[in-house]
Amino acid sequence: MSEPSTTTILSTSRSKLSVWCVCLVALLAFAPGHAEAADEVLRKVAVADPYLEMHTGPGRGYPIFHIVDRGEQVEILMQRTYWYQVRTERGIEGWVDQDQMELTLNPDGTAVEFRRATLEDFTNAKWEAGILAGDFGGANIVSLYGGYSINPHVSVELWGSQILGNFSNGWMGSVNVVHETWPDWRFSPFFTLGAGVIHTSPKSTIIQGDDRTDEVGHVGAGLRIYASRRFLFRVEYKSYVVFTSRDENEEVEEWKAGFAFFF
Amino acid sequence: MESRFRVLFLIALAVMLSGCAATKNLFGIGDDEAPPPSAEPPGQVIDPEVERRDIKEPAIDREDFEVGAFAGLMSIEDFGTDAVYGVKLAYHVTEGFFVEASVGQSEAGLTSFEQLSGSALLFDDRDLTYYNLNLGYNVLPGEVFVGEGRAYNTNFYLIAGLGSTNFADDDRFTVNFGAGFRFLLTDSISIHVDFRDHLFDSDILGREKVTHNLEGTVGVAVFF
């Protein structure tokens, strides 16, 4: 059966195919309602606990306004943080906490499992992003980073920083390799090694000088501290060597603290 | 009395030892009594495995990100008040905490010196642009009521962060803090009213000082 269809596609000219593609895109663009209606298959769960409490909003403080009895089914419309917006068979919509959602059953009768981030995820999560700020050789530094874990011990990070000093400003971009010796500890120390570029421009009002772009290399160590859920705190020290075009290389020490989350 | 205890003790000991004898196989001390291998030919065994119905659960739509635009007024210290506008992106980590990045732009007016003296401007590039990375916390989640039959979810949040302000040909390390009110028009569309103070060091007027730059904005955001 599959072979004739392949032949058909091959015999169709490229221009004809692109016309079809355009038509398809146009159809999708102009008929979003239809597309959504066709796509919208919502996940259904059955209430297994004596009842399911529906709040008016996604938070502990919002009042409970409706209760779904055991055995009834609800559709999950969306998730925001650890709250689920559900719709009952009668069309009432409300928000349910993850703890309660975990007591529902799938259509095949198995227990529903909604993963909640734990210390284990802190160790094993693939992606991490965060914001740190601190001191870079006397100047202020604001940094943003994203990291990918190759395994629980080793990860690669991409950093972008802005340096704001009294005499000069600049930015820095670098790639780091991070090694965590005890990734399963709540206070997990790490060592890091990296390289990048630094761009500095002296403040014209104070000192005369040209903008410079130099390569940097650095080593460092720090601590990742699991806070709760997907949050972690991070403190670190890095020692930079700036490979200047002058006779001597510059050495800069950096201290930073901030927070990050993993996902 | 004592002999009675001794008898009780001996009985207890005997019971325990016999118990050990019975359970010793559990610990592998006893003889290996493996069950005889089944002699039936494989064809005759009824396969108890029922083919499982593999249901692929539809994915749940996660709406933790919030993207929006805002506009309002910003008072730049010594430089008057002017319009400010910008965009922001927030990520809700928990029901309480969210992180936010925002970028904004405003324009500096004239200082009183520039106005009175009528002389040349202190600097030419009058644009002020800033970015900041913030951590916010929804302190007072709540509801507001419009008329008799409508209720909207709201959040009063506190927010603070760090960033940089480009003003008068210079990048300045900036700390900002403030509070805001998020009004959820629907579960996915929100209206924000935000007040912030942006603090940065400035030496534009001679002496270096910390400037307070107050900003009030109204914005619309969409969760996705």
Helix, strand, or coil (residue A257) = strand
Q: Could B93 and A229 be called an inter-chain contact, meaning their C-beta atoms sit closer than 8 Å? A: yes
Residue of chain B whose Cα is closest to the Cα of A112 = B57
All residues at 6 or more sequence positions from B220 whose CB lies less than 8 Å from its CB, including other chains = B68, B69, B70, B189, B190, B191, B192
> B207 and chain A: CB distance < 8 Å anywhere?
no
Closest-CA distance, A42 to chain B, in angstroms, reads: 6
- Which residues on chain B are in Cβ contact (under 8 Å) with A83? 95
Question: Which ipTM was obtained for this model?
Answer: 0.70
pLDDT of residue A177: 95
Successive 10-residue mean pLDDT values, chain A, 263 residues: 38 43 44 45 82 89 88 87 89 89 80 77 88 91 92 93 87 94 90 94 72 91 88 93 86 92 85
Residue of chain B whose Cα is closest to the Cα of A59 = B95
- Which residues on chain A are in Cβ contact (under 8 Å) with B171? 162, 164, 169
- Does residue B191 register a pLDDT over 90? yes
> B125 and chain A: CB distance < 8 Å anywhere?
no
> B137 and chain A: CB distance < 8 Å anywhere?
no
CA distance to A184, B163, B171, per residue, from A204 (Å)? 49, 21, 12
Closest-CA distance, B125 to chain A, in angstroms, reads: 14
Q: Is B129 exposed, middle or buried (0-12, 13-18, 19+ CB in 10 A)?
A: middle
> B126 and chain A: CB distance < 8 Å anywhere?
no
Q: What average pLDDT score do residues B43-65 get?
A: 72
Closest-CA distance, B113 to chain A, in angstroms, reads: 20
Q: Is A112 exposed, middle or buried (0-12, 13-18, 19+ CB in 10 A)?
A: middle
User: Side by side, which strands form the sheet with A73-80?
Assistant: A64-69, A51-55, A93-97, A83-88, A73-80, A43-47, A104-105
- Which residues on chain A are in Cβ contact (under 8 Å) with B64? 79-81
| A23-57 pLDDT, tens digit each | 444 444 444 443 344 456 788 888 888 888 999 99
Chain A residues with CB within 8 Å of chain B CB: 41-43, 56-63, 76-85, 106-108, 131, 133, 140, 142, 144, 162, 164, 169, 203-205, 229-231, 259, 261
Q: Which residue has the tokens 């990734």?
A: A183
Q: Please report, rounded to a whole number, the percentage of residues in chain B having pLDDT higher than 70.
A: 75
Closest-CA distance, A78 to chain B, in angstroms, reads: 5
